[in-house]
Amino acid sequence: MEFHPQPTPGTARPWAFPAPERGALPNGLTVLRCHRPGQQVVAVEIFLDAPLEAEPEGLDGVATIMSRALSEGTDKHSAEEFAAELERCGATLDAHADHPGVRVSLEVPASRLAKALGLVAEALRAPAFTESEIERLVGNRLDEIPHEHANPSRRAAKQLSKELFPATARMSRPRLGTEETVRRIDAAAVRAFFDAHIRPSTATAVIVGDLTDIDLDALLAETLGDWSGNTAQARPVPPITADDTGRVVIVDRPGAVQTQLLIGRIGADRHERVWPAQVLGTYCLGGTLTSRLDRVLREEKGYTYGVRAFAQVLRSSGPDSGGAAMLAISGSVDTESTGPALDDLWKVLRTLAAEGLTDAERETAVQNLVGVAPLKFETAASVASTLADQVEQHLPDDYQAHLYARLAETGTVEATAAVVNAFPVDRLVTVLVGDAARIAEPVKALGIGEVTVVTG
Amino acid sequence: MPMGHTATAQAGSGGLTATEHRLANGLRVVLSEDHLTPVAAVCLWYDVGSRHEVKGRTGLAHLFEHLMFQGSGQVKGNGHFELVQGAGGSLNGTTSFERTNYFETMPTHQVELALWLEADRMGSLLAALDEESMENQRDVVKNERRQRYDNVPYGTAFEKLTALSYPEGHPYHHTPIGSMADLDAATLEDARAFFRTYYAPNNAVLSVVGDIDPEQTLAWIEKYFGSIPSHDGKQPPRDGTLPEIIGEQLREVVHEEVPARALMAAYRLPHDGTRACDAADLALTVLGGGESSRLHNRLVRRDRTAVAAGFGLLRLAGAPSLGWLDVKTSGGVEVETIETAVDEELARFAAEGPTPEEMERAQAQLEREWLDRLGTVAGRADELCRYAVLFGDPQLALTAVGRVLDVTAEEVRAAAAAALRPDNRAVLVYEPIEPADEAAEGEDGTEGTDAHEGAAK
C-alpha cells in the first residue's frame, strides 16, 4: 500500500454543553427543559429529594421498595395495566433510590411523550401501594440479594462501604437493604415514607429531546402540574466521614479463578475547586487502557482485562456541606497474579507521587475529556442524566459547560497534586474478593496494610 | 469509484439517507450525512467472525481483534488508542459469530485521522505484529474470559446453550470467546495467516455517518484505502444450514455454585433478515420482553415463582437464530414448576396468538429500540455495515423498523406455533450446590460468552 503522513485535524466546529431553561410549576415542581433537535427519544429524569438517610431505623430498603412500587399501580390502573400502558407508548421507566434521593427515568418516543408523562404523573400523584404488590416486591427483593452477593464486583462494593463508613452511618450499609431490614417492610411503611418525603416542592423534572411540535407548558400543566403536596423543606443530611486507614480485607471465595479488586477512600466532590484537577489526574492514572495503570497491568503484564480509577460523587448538597465522592480503583486479575498485580499497582502510585504527571499526559487527557463531550452528550438521555446529577448535587445548571473550560485551564502540576492527594498509598482501603488460601500470603508480603479475611 | 444509490429518503426511513460506493480494490463504502451534532462515526466491518474459525483455534478471531490495537505500519504500540482518544474520539472493536467490527466516533474535524488509522492497520498490520503483543494480548483475553464468564454465576450458560443448540462441528457450536486451551494454542503464525486470509478491502464494508462532507470523505477514503491490494484467499465459512426444527428436546443439568435454580433454554428460530424472524422477535417480545409480558405477568407477578423471567433474541444470518429464555427461580421453587408454566404459556400463545393490545405494545417497544439504535451516529454506522455485510444492502437498515411494524398478529402466532415448542429447544437447568461440594464436582466446564466480545472497554 501507499503510505501517507498522519493527517492534521481540520477546524473544530464549536460545541457547548446544552443550557437548559429553568422554570417552576405552580405546585412547586422545578422544571428544566432542553430542546435537542433530532433526538426522537425524549428523556425525562425526575429527582425526588428523599435520601436514603431518611429511611427509618431498621427499614433500610424502604426507599427502594417505594421507588419500585411507583410503577406498580395507581388510583386508575392496576400494576399489570400500568406496565402495559407504559409499554404501549414504547416507553421504559426506571426508578431507583440512592444516597442523594430517588431518580425516576423515563425514555419515550417524542410522539408518545404526552401519554407516558401522564402515566408518570399518575404514579407520583396517586400510587396505589397495595399490600399485595408491596409484599410481592419485598419477596422479589429478598430473592435478588443472593444474586448480588454472588457477584464479585457487587460483593466488593458492599464490603468497601462497610469498611469505610462508621457503622451508624446509612452509607455503611447496603443501599437496597439487607435481608433482615427488607423483610420488615410493608405497605404501611412504604406509604409513610412516600407521604413524608415525596412532594413536588422538593422535586425537579428534567425534560430533554426533540420538543418540536410539543406544547410542553400545556402538557406539564395537565400531567405533573396536577401533582400536589405540602411545601416542607427537604431534610438536612449529616456530613460524610470515612476511615481510610490503609488496610486489606479479603472476602474469601474458595476456588475463584480471579480476584476482584476494589481499592478506595473518599475525597473531594464537585463543589471543591480541586474537582477538575482531580478528574484530569484520575483519568491519567486509570481512565482508559492507555492510562498509567493499564499500561502496566494490562498492556505490559496481561494481569487483567482492565483496571479503572474513578471518582463518583456519593452525595453532595453544596459547598462545605459535608459531601464527598468515592475515589476508587477497580478491576479483576487472575488469582495467581493477585500479589504481583497489587505490587505493580502500588508501584504505579508511588512513581506518580515521586515523579508526577508529564505535560504530554496531561495534554492528551484534556484533549480526550474535553473533545469527547459532543459524543458523550449526543443522546437526550445522557444530557438529561447529567442535568439531573447537577440538580441532585445542588450545582448550577451551567456547571458541566464550565467544567470543560476549567479542565482546559488545569495544569500538569495541579493535576498531579490532585491525583496524588486522592490516592495516597498509605490511606487506601483494599477489598479483594478471591481465594484467600491462595492470595492472602502474597498480599501480606506487600506491606500495604493489615490483612483480614472474612467469609461469605 | 462509481456512485451508487442517490441520497433520497425512502418511506419509513425517518428521513435518513445513505449512499453507496465501491473502490477499485473492492472496499464497499456507505456514507450518511447528519449535521445536527459536530461528530461523525467511522465503522468498519470485516466479514469474519468465530464461525470462520477451525477446530483447535476457537477464539482466534477475537484474539486477533485485540491485536488490531497493538500498532501497525505507521502507528506505534498503543497508538490506535492514544491518537483517537487524544483527538477527542472514542473507539473499540467487537467480535461476534458472523463479523468483526472496529469503530471510532470522532469530533467532525478529526474524521480523517480515524480513516488514516483504519487504513494503516488494514494495509500494514503485519509490519507491527510481534510475539510480545501476541503473548500479552493472549493473557488479556484469558482474563477477559475469566472476568466475564468464568468468575460470575451462570457466566458460562450462553456457551453451554450454544454448544447444545448447534451440533459438534457446526460453525456456531462454539462462541467467540473460545476455549482456554485453544487460546493457549494459538501462535503468531496463526494470527498472521488469519490477517492474510480475512483482512482485505474486498472483505470489508466501511461506513462513515454524521457531520461529513460526502465528497471530501470519499476522497480521503480513496486516498488512504485505495492502494491496499485486494486478495481472494478467503474460504467461505462452513455451511451453517440446519433443519428448521431440532426435532427433540436437548437438555443439560448443571450442578454449580450459583445463587438460585435457573431454567434457561434456546429455541431454534428463522434466520435474521427474514420476515419470519421479525415475527418471531415480536412473539418473544409479547411473551418475554419487558414488565408487561406474558411470562413476567405469570411467573413474577401472579405465581411469584421467579425473580426474573424473559426472552431475548440472538439474530443470526448464517445459521438459525436463537430465542433465549432465562428464568431465575424464587426461593425454593423447583424448575419443573417453572417449566410447566412456561410450556402452558407458550402453548396458549401458539394457539391464540397475541391480542391487538399486545401487538401494539410489542411493536412500540421494538420501534423505540430502533429509534435508540439509529439515534446516534455510531449506532447508525453499525447498522448500515450490518445490512451491507450480512444482506448486501445497507438501505435495509433505514427501513428495518417499517418491516417490523408491517408484521401481522397471525404471522406472530404462526412463528410461535412453528418454533416455540418443546421439541425445538435446548434446555439448561442450574441446580445450586454448596461451596464445599464444588471440589468433588470438579470445575472443568468453564466456558461462556456473549454474542459480542468487546476488545477493550
pLDDT for residue B233: 80
Same domain membership, residue A109 and residue A72? yes
For residue A425, give how far its alpha carbon lies from the nearest alpha carbon of chain B (Å). Answer: 26
Which domain CATH number covers A180?
Answer: 3.30.830.10
Within a domain: A131: yes
Contacts of B36 in chain A (CB under 8 A): 37-38
Look at B223 and A4 and tell me if their CB atoms are within 8 Å.
yes
For residue A262, give how far its alpha carbon lies from the nearest alpha carbon of chain B (Å). Answer: 14
**ipTM value for the complex:** 0.95
> From CA A453, how far away is CA A412, in angstroms rounded?
39
Contacts of B37 in chain A (CB under 8 A): 15, 38, 374, 378
Look at A367 and B86 and tell me if their CB atoms are within 8 Å.
yes
Within a domain: A45: yes
Same domain membership, residue A308 and residue A177? no
- Each residue's pLDDT, cut to its tens digit, for chain A (456 residues) gives 999 999 999 999 999 999 999 999 999 999 999 999 999 999 999 999 999 999 999 999 999 999 999 999 999 999 999 999 999 999 999 999 999 999 999 999 999 999 999 999 999 999 999 999 999 999 999 999 999 999 999 999 999 999 999 999 999 999 999 999 999 999 999 999 999 999 999 999 999 999 999 999 999 999 999 999 888 887 788 999 999 999 999 999 999 999 999 999 999 999 999 999 999 999 999 999 999 999 999 999 999 999 999 999 999 988 888 999 999 999 999 999 999 999 999 999 999 999 999 999 999 999 999 999 999 999 999 999 999 999 999 999 999 999 999 999 999 999 999 999 999 999 999 999 999 999 999 999 999 999 999 997
Residues of B designated catalytic: 65
Does A83 contact chain B (CB < 8 Å)?
A: yes
pLDDT for residue B436: 55
For residue A291, give how far its alpha carbon lies from the nearest alpha carbon of chain B (Å). Answer: 10
Mean pLDDT (10-residue bins), chain B, 457 residues = 46 78 98 96 98 96 98 96 96 97 98 98 97 97 96 96 96 97 98 97 98 98 98 85 96 96 98 98 97 97 97 97 98 96 98 98 96 95 98 97 97 98 98 66 30 35
Within a domain: A10: no
Same domain membership, residue A292 and residue A184? no
Same domain membership, residue A126 and residue A25? yes
Chain B residues 88-117 with CB within 8 Å of chain A? 88-90, 105-110, 112-113, 116
Does A223 contact chain B (CB < 8 Å)?
A: no
List the single residue in B with minimal CA-CA distance to A382.
B376
> From CA B38, how far away is CA B109, in angstroms rounded?
8
In CATH, the number for domain B19-225 is: 3.30.830.10
Same domain membership, residue A415 and residue A378? yes
Laid out side by side, the sheet with B250-256 consists of B250-256, B425-432, B262-269, B321-329, B306-314
pLDDT for residue A80: 96
pLDDT for residue B3: 38
Contacts of B364 in chain A (CB under 8 A): 87-90, 109, 112
Within a domain: A9: no
Contacts of A370 in chain B (CB under 8 A): 88
pLDDT for residue B12: 53
Question: Residue A208 has which C-alpha cell?
Answer: 430533554
Nearest neighbour of B364 by CB, restricted to A83, A88, A258: A88
Chain A residues 150-169 with CB within 8 Å of chain B? 150-152
Print the domain residue range for A447.
247-455
User: How many Cβ pairs closer than 8 A exist between chain A and B?
Assistant: 231
Does A250 contact chain B (CB < 8 Å)?
A: no
| Inter-helix orientation angle A436-444/A338-355, to 10° | 30
Same domain membership, residue A217 and residue A267? no
List the single residue in A with minimal CA-CA distance to B372.
A41
Contacts of B367 in chain A (CB under 8 A): 90, 109
Same domain membership, residue A146 and residue A27? yes
List the single residue in A with minimal CA-CA distance to B369.
A90
* Interface with chain A: mutation pick from B32, B34, B37, B177, highest number of A CBs within 10 Å: B37
Please choose, from the candidates A289, A386, A293, the residue with its C-alpha nearest in 3D space to the C-alpha of residue B91: A289
pLDDT for residue B10: 56
Look at A112 and B364 and tell me if their CB atoms are within 8 Å.
yes
Phi-psi map region of A114: left, alpha, beta (phi>0 left; psi -120 to 50 alpha): alpha
Domain B250-454 falls under CATH 3.90.550.10: no
pLDDT for residue A231: 83
Q: Phi and psi for A329 in degrees, rounded to 5?
A: -125, 130
Look at B307 and A140 and tell me if their CB atoms are within 8 Å.
yes
Query: pLDDT tens digits, residue range B245-263?
Result: 999 999 999 999 999 999 9
Question: Residue A61 has which C-alpha cell?
Answer: 430498603
Please choose, from the candidates A323, A178, A344, the residue with its C-alpha nearest in 3D space to the C-alpha of residue A261: A344
Question: Residue B313 has which C-alpha cell?
Answer: 433474541
pLDDT for residue B438: 42
Same domain membership, residue A179 and residue A48? yes
Question: Residue B266 has which C-alpha cell?
Answer: 434456546
Contacts of B135 in chain A (CB under 8 A): 302
List the single residue in B with minimal CA-CA distance to A370.
B88
Does B130 contact chain A (CB < 8 Å)?
A: no
Q: Phi and psi for B408 in degrees, rounded to 5?
A: -95, 160
Same domain membership, residue A252 and residue A159? no
Listed in order, the ranges of chain B carrying CATH 3.30.830.10 are 19-225, 250-454
Does B83 contact chain A (CB < 8 Å)?
A: yes
CB atoms within 10 A of CB B351: 10
Please choose, from the candidates B138, B6, B13, B120, the residue with its C-alpha nearest in 3D space to the C-alpha of residue B74: B120
- What pTM was estimated for this model as a whole? 0.95
Contacts of A140 in chain B (CB under 8 A): 300, 307, 330
For residue B167, give how far its alpha carbon lies from the nearest alpha carbon of chain A (Å). Answer: 29
For residue A232, give how far its alpha carbon lies from the nearest alpha carbon of chain B (Å). Answer: 35
Q: What is the DSSP string of A2-58?
A: ---PPPPP-PPPP--PPPPEEEE-TTS-EEEEEE-TT--EEEEEEEE---GGGSPTT
Does B230 contact chain A (CB < 8 Å)?
A: no
CB atoms within 10 A of CB B8: 8
Quote the number of domains for chain A.
2
Same domain membership, residue A435 and residue A288? yes
Q: Do β-strands B39-46 and B100-107 pair in parallel, antiparallel, or remain unpaired?
A: antiparallel
Same domain membership, residue A321 and residue A185? no
Within a domain: A201: yes
Within a domain: A236: no
